[in-house]
Amino acid sequence: MRIVIAEDNVLLSSGLELLLTAKGFHVAAIAQDAPGFIAAVAEHRPDVTIVDVRLPPTFRDEGIHAALHARRRHPGLPVLVLSQYVEQQYAGELLLDDRRGGVGYLLKDRVSRVSEFVDALRQVAAGGTVMDPEVITQLLTRHARDPIAGLTPREREVLALMAEGKDNRAIAARLVITENAVHKHIGNTFAKLGLPPAGSGHRRVLAVLAYLSSR
């Protein structure tokens, strides 16, 4: 599996290369800035990419801009954002990008096990969606005053708890309702948001992101 990495920190990029090589991946290129990343993607056509949000020269949002640009030039390009920061303005756009999946957003300080990171990378490469719960929480908090029109108050409550990573049983316990009721609310939410029963993305994640993107 070919990987292109966009990371300006030499120690981190070298560490990722060693780790991924040991796990059977092939690191085709390591770029230290956005233009280098875009060029490397065009040259190597990787199976998955790893991108930091903040790259030279301004260290603001060059990385995530580059990821969006690469996804537009190469539709469906799997992108795993690995950063210390949640770039709220563009994170939702990247994660909702054409709903084809193949996207992820992990926070460096919250990756506690190598196995979890490798599993997340494989899931993104396979077209899945992987998000750190903290990313969803920050995005949801920013847009909490603008709920999707058409969702009932209870459906919005269930959606908010989904954003916290809670499963149906935990949601039922929190809201003091049955799991069947939770399942019904989630099904109604999926239907109202136009999320099909089958697809490459994770519908629970896409439901939250659709909520955010409506604002």
Q: Do 25 and 112 belong together in one domain? A: yes
26 and 112, same domain (yes or no)? yes
Buried residues in 160-191 as b, exposed as e (16+ CB within 10 A): bbbbeebebeebbeeeebeeeebeebbebbbe
C-alpha distances out from residue 68 to 47, 65, 155, Å = 16, 5, 31
- pLDDT at site 139: 63
Single residue among 131, 148, 182 that ends a domain in this structure: 131
**Does one domain contain both 121 and 145?**
no
Last residue of a domain, one of 116, 131, 146: 131
Q: What per-residue confidence (pLDDT) applies to 200?
A: 39
CA neighbor of 102 nearest in space, from 211, 189, 210, 206: 206
Shared domain check, 160 and 117: no
Same-domain pairing of 82 and 188: no
pLDDT block averages, 10 residues each, the chain of length 215: 96 95 96 96 97 89 89 91 78 63 85 90 90 72 56 85 82 92 89 63 68 58
Query: Which structural domain range is residue 190 located in?
Result: 138-213
The CATH number linked to 59 is 3.40.50.2300
Which residues, 6 or more positions from 139, have their beta carbon under 8 angstroms from its beta carbon?
86, 88, 91, 92, 208, 209, 212
127, 142: one domain: no
Count of domains for the chain: 2
105 and 197: one domain? Answer: no
Q: Where are the alpha helices (DSSP H) in the chain?
A: 10-22, 34-44, 62-73, 88-96, 114-125, 133-142, 153-163, 168-175, 179-192, 203-213
Annotate 22-72 with three-state secondary structure.
Answer: HCCCEEEEEECCHHHHHHHHHHHCCCEEEECCCCCCCCCCHHHHHHHHHHH
Is there a single domain that holds both residue 105 and residue 24?
A: yes
pTM of the model: 0.67
- 53/72 same-domain check: yes
Find how far residue 102's CA is from the centre of its chain: 8
Same domain, 119 and 51: yes
Write down the pLDDT at residue 157: 86
Compute the distance between CA of residue 43 and CA of residue 4 in angstroms, rounded to an integer.
Answer: 10
Using the 3D structure, point to which of 100, 131, 162 is the last residue of a domain: 131
pLDDT at 188: 87
**Domain match, 121 and 18 both:** yes
Q: Is residue 56 located within the same domain as residue 90?
A: yes
